Amino acid sequence: MEDLSAFSGKPRLRALLDHFGKIKDTRQAWKVAYPLREVLFLVVCGTIASGDDYDDIVDWGTAHLSFLRGFAEFHFGIPCADWLRCVMNRINPELFMDCFTAWVAECWPDKLDLVAIDGKTSRRSHNHKTGQKALHLVSAFATNSRLVLGQEAVFEKSNEITAIPALVERLDLTGALVSIDAMGANPTIAQSILDAEADYLLAVKDNQPTLHADIESYFDTAPPAEVERVETVGKDHGRLEVRNHTVSHVVDWYAAERAYPGAPRFAKLTTIAMVESRIERGDKIATERRSYISSRALSAAGTRPLGYRKQAALGSRCHFQGGFIAIARRPWRQKHGCGPPLRPQSGAPSRR
């Protein structure tokens, strides 16, 4: 029997039912065998319990029907996978997301510390025959609580620039430090984070060539009294990485010059940082140099998570599935130690 310790907080799950109850069911009540709130509750629980698709969710729900009935009636048991797919595709994903986000905010009200925003392309979401491009998701990930706060779907990686402000506006980021890769090094994005009463921490690369060059030039010639340095060593899977973190709060040179009259500026720029890495793997040695800017007064020690920012964001492994947010889990072979079981062909979806 599967361990259900992850669901031990019954008040939290009952609150999930209450939030989903706000989604209006437009079906005729006397014809409804599976109430919408029960369907949504099943889908979320099955997804959290490692369900990769609707067949997995149905299998999990059938095996744990007694557990589910501790929260709702489930009088007619568990619907089939095709019926679940049909219902979920008709639900407004924004409304579902609002209800789910409200539930997360109620159950995990702790103040956010570090939030990583990153983009990821969903595999096999394209269709060459119809010309449909791959789906690209921009996700906000609370690195300390390891919780996905929200997502925006776009069909081009370049559209992250417009998707990030929309995602930031929808979330409560008060007091958080928001970290974004070089795609987010944009004055408009930085301002949207400040408007959300948060601070930005942005990687700077060739998309801001002048600023990037100025930061590297500054650290190459900066007096020791103006900078702070910390060295860290990390070992993982036969890889040794030595990082030198350098920060400075001397940024008056940035405010004094503009690349051209009226050039946009990064508001409230307070800290510039550089992380220099030396990576040894076997007999191979690689070096890397990365630049950052922040609106918060960070110390060198405070920049230590920078090397792991993108890995943490991608660790959320989120994607859209059937119109709702699902968490990608381990492959079936890794979960069960064998290949996926053969499934009988499903019949036509039920009218209920």
Q: What is the dihedral of CA 100, 106, 107, 112, to 10 degrees?
A: 100
Per-residue pLDDT band for 85 (boundaries 50, 70, 90) equals confident
Q: What is the pLDDT of residues 143-195, one digit of tens each?
A: 777 777 777 777 665 577 888 898 898 888 888 999 998 888 889 999 999 99
Residues 158 and 265 in one domain: yes
Q: What span, in angstroms and rounded, lies between the C-alpha atoms of 117 and 160?
A: 10
Closest CA to 288 of 245, 250, 317: 245
Both 61 and 147 in one domain: the answer is no
Find tokens 């007091």 and name the residue: 175
Residues 203 and 258 in one domain: yes
**Looking at the structure, do residues 173 and 298 belong to the same domain, yes or no?**
yes
Q: What is the pLDDT of residues 282-325, one digit of tens each?
A: 889 999 999 999 999 988 876 665 654 443 433 333 333 333 33
Q: What is the dihedral of CA 179, 200, 305, 325, to 10 degrees?
A: -30
- Residue 298 located in a structural domain: yes
Considering the domain architecture, whether residues 129 and 77 belong to the same structural domain is answered as: no
Q: How many domains does the chain have?
A: 2
Nearest Cα residue to 322 out of 34, 56, 83, 54 = 54
Asked, for residue 336, whether it belongs to a domain, the answer is no
Residue-range definition of the domain harbouring residue 233: 106-318
Does 295 share its domain with 187?
yes
CA R_g for the chain:
24
DSSP 215: H
Look at residues 171, 133, 130, 173 and name the one whose alpha carbon lies nearest to residue 153.
Answer: 133
Residue at 240 is within a domain: yes
Residue 25 shares a structural domain with residue 161: no
